[in-house]
Amino acid sequence: MVSTLVLMATILPLAVILYRVRFHPLSHLPGPWFAAVGPFFLSIICYLGIEARVMRHYHEKYKTKTLRVSTNSVSISDPDAMHEIYVAQGGFVKDDRYANFTMGPVVSIFSAIDADYRNVRAKTVAPLFAPGRLRNATQQQQIIGECIRDFMDQFRLLKEANDEVDILDLCARLSIDVVTGYLLGRRYDGLHEHDDLPISQRKHTKLSANPFVFSIVAFARFSLLPNWLFRCTYAASTWWASSPEVDRSFKRLGEYSDRLLKKTSTASQAEGIDSTDRSSSSSPMTYQGRLLAAGISPFEAKVQAQATIFADADSTAIVLATILFHLVQNPSVNKRLHDEVESPEAQNMDTSQLPYLRAVVKEGLRLAMTNPTRLTRVVPPSGLQVCGQTIPPGTVVGCAAYVLHHDADVFDKPFEFQPERRLLPSTDEIVPSSIHDGDEVSHRLLPPKKGQQRELMEKHMIPFGVGLRACLGKNLAMQEIHEAVRVVAASNILEGATTIQHQIKMKEWFNGEIIGHRLEIKWC
């Protein structure tokens, strides 16, 4: 009897493994065999923060656009599949992983799986992200312009007082002030919260909201676990990693949110409020004011406000700091950008329309990848066809920015910062070239070099996601980044600077995290 049980205990697991590797509906897809056995491989590389680079490695090893990465999960690197997955008819439904991003009784706009729930809230605040409104807010005397001016003042002070500046922390201060000042009507005041300290000490003092942000980013390492196990693991991890610094950060952000909502709730009961006044958090034109006006409870409005601080501020700061880092490492790029933004023609152009500035920003977005891993969805009953491969219903699929942004067949030298690649002609802009063939002259289209097709590059770019579920704050982030990079380039403050770190190293969790939480530059 005992021997029979032992035999069964041995045979059954082997039979399950054999089925998953050789006979499962996904067994026809290429991928490492051990990934097909269960969720362990995917969960481990997620925890270690190397998920994206490992997937890129196996996509290249197996030369495939459809890579099996778990028993019922597939990584897709074909941009032509993104329309069906993320766009058509609202895109496929988010998988259960997103339930792990809801940390309390309120489901954030980002983590919502229910499309109707999300749409009600997203449509309520969407007018705040209108391009025209954002451009107006970037004027010198408006909130975004004011934040960028303060950012540059702090940058100059730090440069004069110290030989080193942490541009990641400085960009985080700018981003949190832009998000809170523009969306919530009251700046967090990250750029000024340490004004009472001597300037020589400020480089050692970081933004008070950082521990809050870092703790939220870090929990994504467990996000592939089943929800019940995730909650247990996250609770234990939070207890283990707790510290007075983290507690103070959460407390300060909570107090900021409470003041915000108290003022907004009080004002919403008053009559005669000017709906165009965005000078304070009491305005119904703010993020939380719009939610309250739509019937959302004050408690939920507070949680949604905190969620947007994390979702919009942290990612924008990483992109902006990445761009400044590469401008320092590439003085010729910085010089060319300076010449463009200071040219007479640029003075009458919208910032986002300056060709080289746009190229610099796009290259920064490609390399920063604030969400480097897969944006996962569930294949519907109709199934999915990708590159001639059939993916059955119920399969979890997704495209990863890291894989698409580093496709060597599309981006020549994919790990290098090369804004010039964005300025090459598109296919329909290539001028016919006269080629002598003996005594005859033939006119042929000379195709773009491998990796330099502009249209293909654009198709492979997903820095903000795709479709209706794409980042709600994309326009705000782009406005801040374009304007901040323009002002920095015009000031020439980076001239003569060098980076202390040789390269940017990241943890590839769902939200990317720069290892060490710092990017420092110095002037010789």
Q: Which of 14-18, 125-129, 255-259, 443-447 has the lowest mean pLDDT?
A: 443-447
pLDDT at residue 422 is higher than 60: yes
Euclidean distance between CA atoms 129 and 403, whole angstroms: 29
Best CA proximity match to 477, nearest among 182, 141, 212 = 182
Best CA proximity match to 54, nearest among 37, 84, 34 = 34
pLDDT in tens, 148-166: 999 999 999 999 887 799 9
- Greater confidence (13 vs 18) lies with 18
Which pLDDT value is given to residue 371? 93
> Among residues of the chain, what percentage have pLDDT more than 70?
90
Q: What are phi and psi of 462, to 5 degrees?
A: -135, 55
Which pLDDT value is given to residue 176? 98
* Beta strands 497-499; 440-444: pairing state: unpaired
Q: Is residue 24 part of a domain?
A: no
Task: Please give the angle made by the CA atoms of 61, 63 and 64, to the nearest 5 degrees.
Answer: 120
- Greater confidence (284 vs 301) lies with 301
Which pLDDT value is given to residue 10? 80
Euclidean distance between CA atoms 255 and 467, whole angstroms: 35
CA atoms within 13 A on the CB side of 518: 14
Averaged pLDDT, 406-425: 93
pLDDT at residue 301 is higher than 80: yes
The answer to whether 92 and 378 have CB atoms below 8 angstroms apart is yes
Residue type present at position 141: Q
The answer to whether 174 and 480 have CB atoms below 8 angstroms apart is yes
DSSP state of 406: T
Q: How far apart are the first and last CA of the chain?
A: 78
Averaged pLDDT, 402-408: 97
pLDDT band at 262 (very low <50, low <70, confident <90, very high): confident
CA 88 to chain centre: 22
Neighbours of 208 (CB within 10 A): 21
> Average pLDDT over the chain, rounded to whole?
89
Residue 147 in marked binding region: no
Neighbours of 334 (CB within 10 A): 21
Euclidean distance between CA atoms 49 and 132, whole angstroms: 38
Best CA proximity match to 174, nearest among 196, 193, 159 = 193
Q: Is residue 376 part of a domain?
A: yes
pLDDT band at 453 (very low <50, low <70, confident <90, very high): confident
Q: Is residue 69 part of a domain?
A: no
3-state secondary structure (DSSP) of residue 498: strand
3-state secondary structure (DSSP) of residue 74: strand
Which pLDDT value is given to residue 2? 65
The total number of structural domains that make up the chain: 1
CATH of the domain at 397: 1.10.630.10
CA 89 to chain centre: 24
pLDDT band at 128 (very low <50, low <70, confident <90, very high): very high
Averaged pLDDT, 48-76: 98
Which pLDDT value is given to residue 332? 98
Which pLDDT value is given to residue 163? 76
Averaged pLDDT, 85-95: 94
Neighbours of 190 (CB within 10 A): 29
Element (H, E) at 231: helix 227-241
Q: Is residue 91 part of a domain?
A: no
Q: Is residue 36 part of a domain?
A: no
Residue 264 structural domain: 115-270+283-427+449-523
- Any bridge partners for residue 520, and if so which? 166
Please, what is the angle between helix 167-178 and helix 315-329, to 10°? 140
Which pLDDT value is given to residue 449? 54
Which pLDDT value is given to residue 442? 38
pLDDT in tens, 316-331: 999 999 999 999 999 9
pLDDT in tens, 31-44: 999 999 999 999 99
pLDDT in tens, 465-512: 998 888 999 999 999 999 999 999 999 999 999 999 999 999 999 999
pLDDT in tens, 192-246: 999 998 887 887 899 999 999 998 898 899 999 999 999 898 888 888 878 899 8
pTM: 0.91
Averaged pLDDT, 424-452: 46
Euclidean distance between CA atoms 422 and 284, whole angstroms: 41
Euclidean distance between CA atoms 13 and 115, whole angstroms: 39
**What is the token pair recorded at 74?**
């597939």
Sign of the Cα torsion 339, 344, 349, 350 reads positive
pLDDT at residue 18 is higher than 50: yes
pLDDT at residue 261 is higher than 90: no
Euclidean distance between CA atoms 456 and 452, whole angstroms: 8
pLDDT in tens, 338-354: 999 999 999 888 888 99
- Greater confidence (86 vs 349) lies with 86
DSSP-assigned states of every residue in 124-171: HHGGGG-HHHHHHHTSTTSHHHHHHHHHHHHHHHHHHH-SEEEHHHHH
3-state secondary structure (DSSP) of residue 224: coil
The segment with the largest mean pLDDT, out of 7-11, 188-192, 281-285, is: 188-192
DSSP state of 247: H
Best CA proximity match to 514, nearest among 523, 522, 524, 503 = 503
